[in-house]
Amino acid sequence: MLHVFGHLNPDTDAITSAVVYAGLLTRQGVEARAFRLGEPNFETAYVLRELGVELPPLLPELPAGAAVALVDHNESAQSVENLAELRVLRVVDHHKLGDLTTASPPYLRFEPVGCTGTLLLKLHREAGLSIEQQDAALMLSAILSDTLHFRSPTTTGEDRDAVDFLAPVAGIKNVEAYALAMFAAKSDLGDTPAETLLRMDYKAFPFGDPAAPQLWGIGVIETTNPGYVFRRQGELLAAMDHVKAEDGLSGVLLSVVDILNETNHTLVLGATEAKVLREAFGVETQAQLANLGHLISRKKQIVPTLERYFAPDA
Amino acid sequence: MLHVFGHLNPDTDAITSAVVYAGLLTRQGVEARAFRLGEPNFETAYVLRELGVELPPLLPELPAGAAVALVDHNESAQSVENLAELRVLRVVDHHKLGDLTTASPPYLRFEPVGCTGTLLLKLHREAGLSIEQQDAALMLSAILSDTLHFRSPTTTGEDRDAVDFLAPVAGIKNVEAYALAMFAAKSDLGDTPAETLLRMDYKAFPFGDPAAPQLWGIGVIETTNPGYVFRRQGELLAAMDHVKAEDGLSGVLLSVVDILNETNHTLVLGATEAKVLREAFGVETQAQLANLGHLISRKKQIVPTLERYFAPDA
Model pLDDT for residues B108-140, shown as the tens digit of each residue = 999 999 999 999 999 999 999 999 999 999 999
pLDDT digits (tens, 9 = 90+) for B236-294: 999 999 999 999 999 999 999 999 999 999 999 999 999 999 999 999 999 999 999 99
Instruction: Identify the CATH number of the domain defined by range A194-310.
Output: 3.10.310.20
Taking an 8 Å cut-off on Cβ atoms, the answer to whether B105 and A98 are in contact is no
- The predicted model gives B200-212 an average pLDDT of 89
Backbone phi, psi, residue A78, to 5°: -105, 10
ipTM, 2 decimals?
0.86
Out of B98, B99, B108, whose CB is closest to A109? B108
- The residue ranges of DSSP E strands in chain A, in sequence order, are 2-5, 32-35, 67-71, 87-93, 107-110, 202-207, 214-223, 251-258, 263-268, 285-286, 289-291
A contacts of B112 (beta carbons < 8 Å): 104-107
Neighbours of B173 (CB within 10 A): 9
State yes or no: pLDDT of A314 exceeds 60: no
Which pLDDT belongs to residue A72? 98
- At position B34, the amino acid (one-letter code) is A
A contacts of B104 (beta carbons < 8 Å): 96, 112, 300, 304
Which pLDDT belongs to residue A220? 96
The CA distance from A64 to A70, in Å, is 16
Q: Give CATH 3.90.1640.10 domain extents, chain B.
A: 2-185
> Are A95 and B105 contacting, i.e. CB atoms less than 8 angstroms apart?
yes
DSSP secondary structure letters along B260-273: TTTEEEEEE-SHHH
State yes or no: pLDDT of A215 exceeds 70: yes
> Are A117 and A93 contacting, i.e. CB atoms less than 8 angstroms apart?
no
Cβ–Cβ contact A270 with B under 8 A: no
Nearest by Cα to B127 from B104, B142, B109: B109
Question: How are beta strands B202-207 and B214-223 bridged, if at all?
Answer: antiparallel
Q: Phi-psi category of B263—alpha, beta or left, where left has phi over 0 and alpha has psi -120 to 50?
A: beta
> Are B41 and B201 contacting, i.e. CB atoms less than 8 angstroms apart?
yes
User: What is the 3-state composition of chain A as percent helix, strand, coil, each rounded to the nearest 5?
Assistant: 45, 20, 40
Q: Tell me how close the Cα of B122 comes to any Cα of chain A, in angstroms.
A: 10
State yes or no: pLDDT of A211 exceeds 90: no
Taking an 8 Å cut-off on Cβ atoms, the answer to whether A107 and B103 are in contact is no
C-alpha R_g of chain A = 19
Q: Give CATH 3.10.310.20 domain extents, chain A.
A: 194-310
> Are B287 and B252 contacting, i.e. CB atoms less than 8 angstroms apart?
no
Taking an 8 Å cut-off on Cβ atoms, the answer to whether B106 and A97 are in contact is yes
Cβ–Cβ contact A314 with B under 8 A: no
| Residue contacts between A and B (CB atoms, under 8 Å) | 67
Cβ–Cβ contact A112 with B under 8 A: yes
Which pLDDT belongs to residue B300? 87
State yes or no: pLDDT of B314 exceeds 50: no
- At position B35, the amino acid (one-letter code) is F
Residue B209 confidence class, pLDDT cut points 50, 70, 90: confident
Instruction: Identify the CATH number of the domain defined by range A2-185.
Output: 3.90.1640.10
Which pLDDT belongs to residue A103? 87
Which pLDDT belongs to residue A128? 93
Calculate what percentage of chain A has a pLDDT beyond 90.
93
Out of A97, A107, A126, whose CB is closest to B100? A97
The CA distance from B306 to B276, in Å, is 8
3-state class of A118 per DSSP?
helix
B contacts of A83 (beta carbons < 8 Å): none
Backbone phi, psi, residue A266, to 5°: -105, 130
State yes or no: pLDDT of B48 exceeds 70: yes
The CA distance from A118 to B207, in Å, is 37
Q: How far is CA B181 from CA B47, B178, B259, in A?
A: 9, 5, 12
Determine the residue of chain B that is closest to A98 in CA distance. B101
Based on the number of CB atoms within 10 Å of its own CB, is B103 exposed (0-12), middle (13-18) or buried (19 or more)?
A: middle
State yes or no: pLDDT of A115 exceeds 70: yes
Taking an 8 Å cut-off on Cβ atoms, the answer to whether A299 and B96 are in contact is no
